[in-house]
Amino acid sequence: MEFDHAGIATDDLEGVADLYGGLFDAPLAHEEEFDGLRVAFLDPGESYLELLEPLPDADGAIPRYLDDHGPGIHHLALRTDDLTAALETAREAGVELVDEEPRPGAWGHDVAFLHPGSTGGVLVEFVEH
């Protein structure tokens, strides 16, 4: 596995994209609306910064995260070539899964999340390109 991206919850996608773009020389690699969110991937090289901004009146994990914690790192994502095998390895290690099976994610990738209660307080995402 390799580090793929850090998912960052924000209520100001454009402002954060401009800041990180200049600060980290991270141009916009991809942008879409997905699952009630504006999602932008910035490319500082080798991996991505994924910015997640709820659309107006959206409900879900990111709006709740922003309400509870404010803007910041929401999750860390690791790239795998075999998402099903990665989930099985986590399951065998006794890790609680948020997603028992892969599901569609942003940018057309398949994803699955591991519960932070089993991963040292960090929400971990597996992503298969």
User: pLDDT tens digits, residue range 60-86?
Assistant: 999 999 999 999 999 999 999 999 999
Mean pLDDT throughout 96-112?
97
Q: How far is it, in rounded angstroms, from Cα 105 to Cα 108? A: 6
State residue 86's pLDDT score.
98
Mean pLDDT throughout 44-54?
97
State residue 65's pLDDT score.
97
pTM higher than 0.85, yes or no? yes
**Domain extent listing, the chain:** 2-128
State residue 20's pLDDT score.
98
State residue 71's pLDDT score.
98
One DSSP character per residue, 49-116 reads EEEEEEPTT--SHHHHHHHHH-SEEEEEEEE-S-HHHHHHHHHHTTPPBS-SS-EE-GGG-EEEEE-G
State residue 4's pLDDT score.
98
State residue 31's pLDDT score.
98
One DSSP character per residue, 2-37 reads EEEEEEEE-S-HHHHHHHHHHHTT--EEEEEEETTE
Give the pLDDT band (50/70/90) at residue 113: very high
Mean pLDDT of the chain: 97
CB 70 within 8 A of CB 89: no
DSSP 46: S
DSSP 1: -
Class of residue 31 by CB neighbours under 10 A (exposed 0-12, middle 13-18, buried 19+): middle
Q: Domain 2-128, CATH 3.40.50.720 — does that match?
A: no
Q: Provide the 3-class DSSP secondary structure of residue 129.
A: coil
